[in-house]
Amino acid sequence: MTLPGNMTLEMLIVFVFLIFVTLLFVFEIVRVDMVGLLMMVLLPLSGVIAPSDAISGLSSNAVVSIIAVIIMGEGLDKTGVMNVFARYIVRFSGKSQVRMVSLISGTVAVISSFMQNIGAVALFLPAANRMCKQLNVPISQVLIPMGYCAVIGGCITLVGSSPLILLNDLMASWWSNNQTLLGNQPFEAFGLFSVAPLGIALVVAAILYFIVFGKFILPKADAKTDSRALLNHDLESTYGREVSNVFEMQVPKKFYTRRLEELKLRPLYHATVVCISKHNGRYRVDVPGRAHVIEPNDVVGIVSNLDHAKKLAKDMGWTLCEELNMLNGVLSVDHSGFTETIVTPRSELVGKTLHEYGFRKKLQVNPLALYRRDKVLLEDISEIKIQPGDAFLLHGEWEKFHLLKQKPILIFTEHLQGEIMYPEKAGLATACLILALVLAMGLKVQLSIALLTGAVSMILTRVMTLDEAYRSVDWMTVFLLAGLIPLGIAFEETGAARFLASFLAGLMAGWLTPVGLFLLIGCLTSFFTLVTSNIGATVLMIPLAMNMAIPCGADPRMAALLVAVAASNTFILPTHQVNALIMRPGGYRVKDYVRAGSGMTLLYIAVVMVIMYFFYGITT
């Protein structure tokens, strides 16, 4: 078989595999992680790479870094460190999805300018999920903007992405070998913030892009549902609809201060006060007892049903809020909810009343109803002697339920959401993160080893257990990336990438202007970074771009800078580490990346060209 030009049979096989993988992604014939596994099998069987290269992705710096940073992100989330960011963003966002997306994306972009973008996303992913639940925003509307801005944020500094870290070294190597072409000009390296104008402009453009076009290009979300906790169908069939929802009520200034037991809310309205916010949110009672008081300007959270809540508000002169506002963080479904428990024969509750036992004070959860002998009791349940087999409907924080589950008092009939938080270990978790960053950025330890050190430190300091660390890793993402890395290796080792770049450059040689050349370089680099690693694309394209710049009268330094920035223009397919990481949590399909990433790719190239032309100058 005659092949065009200098193309070899191995190159042709790699191009066929590239087309094959693209078709699998676009038409979603198999799951994306299966595509990765297929590459790990088919590439060595075809003979284009060695078996050791085919499985090298599993031990690659990128994959090990992802595993380590996901574990650290889980540790930071379990200790509540990331909740600090979440609280401020929720506070400033209000009910605006636009503000929330902008703040999350901007924050992650800034973080990724000083650490690997995959690390910034992995650390922020749990907090983003929690914020979406609190503000009733679909996670699919947030993760793509956040992920794209994390990738772009790496272009703000020279340490934000691997291509920019390599930039000066690759330029210096080419410069020393081409002094005759340069007239013995001294080499001038780029500084830490030399690329900042480009990076900042790209981040701003990306955020504006999603503000304007987000509703058209991001996956269509289901109709909004209330973020507050609701009684599920099984529990509702048992306990009815008398205590089926949570509500927020505002107490007016003129209200006369009274104790809860004086208000008789349970017998009159089948309503239970589950929390009270006082002094404009500065103080909160999470599990109020009968002796607690309701004062003017308090915000009260109750469990009841809509009809009773309306009647209570009318009789008391309170204002029934349509949505959770002040109490959103407390009563939202990700923070608290309903569950059912059964009293065992050996429980210390048997023979006592809830009041005698001090149920609310000891266990920090609210009893709503008692089910005994096919009968639901709602009134005076605190004064009823408890018997083995009694079932209680409870409302409270998921964390408190997890703590209660560890005690031999009650048996839970349902799977519990949420998990136990360990805020007392927040300092240890933060120290482990700082240790990893110091090793990676200060002592120049290889990124994967530095991050793995931080992850192992979290386990050794008991921030999390080894089993929890294993469960936190998204193995679908791991195998997707581990399988695509061999394809990049094959693309580079067979010479297919260099052949394609040289072929296209040769077609356009002789009539390219500096602007045309830079546009070609940007498009070529963007293509290669989709099908190979961004490091591979950078190593391949920087010498080629600098060589092409001299005959066109363009500045070779600017050509190299363009390559390093364009190597982050990888949005159309889930081949980038960040895109792969957010795929499962966001529920994305390949077509979602194509729809959102196509416009982002064109915008990226346009912004880079404009900034480089007017701010940097592209001619020598």
- Per residue in 503-550, pLDDT (tens digit) is 766 766 666 688 888 888 898 888 878 876 677 678 778 877 887 787
SS3 339: strand
The CA angle 189-191-195, to the nearest 5 degrees, is 105
Q: Are 92 and 75 in contact (CB under 8 A)?
A: no
Mean pLDDT is lowest, of 74-88, 96-110, 160-174, 500-514, for 500-514
pLDDT at 445 over 90: no
Residue 3 has pLDDT above 70, yes or no: no
Tell whether the torsion through CA atoms of 466, 467, 473 and 475 is positive or negative: positive
Residue range 596-608, pLDDT digits in tens:
999 999 999 999 9
Residues 6+ apart with CB under 8 A from 330: 275, 277, 284, 286, 301, 336, 397
Domains and CATH numbers, the chain: 1-79+422-494 (no CATH), 80-221+495-616 (no CATH), 233-331+335-412 (3.30.70.1450)
- The letter for the amino acid at 508 is M
Q: What are phi and psi of 377, to 5 degrees?
A: -110, 130
> pTM to 2 decimals?
0.68
Query: Of 512, 506, 538, 511, which Cα lies nearest the Cα of 525?
Result: 538
Distance CA 510, CA 592 (A): 39
Return the pLDDT at 112: 84
Q: Is the pLDDT of residue 236 over 80?
A: yes
Per residue in 142-199, pLDDT (tens digit) is: 999 999 999 999 899 876 777 887 788 778 877 877 776 666 778 888 887 889 999 9
- As a whole number, the mean pLDDT across the chain is 84
- Inter-CA distances, 58 with 17, 62, 314, Å: 20, 9, 63
Q: Are strands 410-412 and 336-343 parallel, antiparallel or unpaired?
A: antiparallel
CA–CA gap between residue 225 and residue 228 (Å, rounded): 9
Cα–Cα dist 513/511, whole Å: 7
135 vs 557, residue with greater confidence: 557
**CA angle 206-207-213, nearest 5°?**
85
The DSSP-derived string for 68-95 is HHHHHHHHHHHTTHHHHHHHHHHHHHTT
**Single-letter code of the amino acid located at 388:** P
What is the rounded CA–CA span in Å between residue 394 and residue 159?
51
Q: Which segments of 545-620 are extended strands (E)?
A: none
Residue 225 banded pLDDT, cuts 50, 70, 90: very low
d(CA 396, CA 387): 22
Neighbours of 392 (CB within 10 A): 22
Rounded to whole angstroms, the Cα distance separating 97 from 94 reads 8
> pLDDT exceeding 90 applies to what percent of the chain?
32
Whether 127 has a pLDDT exceeding 90, the answer reads no
| Euclidean distance between CA atoms 312 and 83, whole angstroms | 34
- Alpha-carbon gap, residue 134 to 439, rounded angstroms: 36
Q: Hey, how many other C-beta atoms are within 10 angstroms of the C-beta on 125? A: 25
Strand ranges for 47-182 from DSSP E:
none
Q: Which of 24-28, 378-382, 562-566 has the lowest mean pLDDT?
A: 24-28
